[in-house]
Amino acid sequence: MSKQSAKELLVYIEKKIQNGDYKDSVHKITLMTTRNVIRKILEEEF
């Protein structure tokens, strides 16, 4: 198992959202919330 950086994870989530690679609207909202939390952490803590 490789270790991914938070920025790589953010790119991965962005691509999933942009490509419509999610199960339903609830899953999309979960991905968007996760993306927003990661962005906020990166801006404030790093």
Range of the domain at 38: 6-45
The answer to whether residue 35 sits within a structural domain is yes
Look at residue 38 and tell me if it is in a domain.
Answer: yes
18 located within any domain: yes
Across the range 4-14, mean pLDDT stands at 93
pTM: 0.83
Element (H, E) at 31: helix 25-45
- Could you give the angle at the alpha carbon of 46 between the alpha carbons of 11 and 2, nearest 5°? 45
Q: What mean pLDDT value characterizes the chain?
A: 92
Domain-embedded: residue 26: yes
Q: pLDDT (tens digit, 9 = 90+) per residue, 10-19?
A: 999 999 999 9
**Residue 11 corresponds to which tokens in the numbers above?**
């790119």
Q: Distance between CA 45 and CA 26 in Å, rounded?
A: 28
Residue 1 located in a structural domain: no
Q: Is residue 1 pLDDT above 60, yes or no?
A: no
Domain count, the chain: 1
Q: Average pLDDT, stretch 13-37? A: 98
What pLDDT band is residue 4 in, cutting at 50, 70 and 90? confident
Question: What is the four-CA torsion angle of 15, 20, 21, 22, rounded to 10 degrees?
Answer: 120
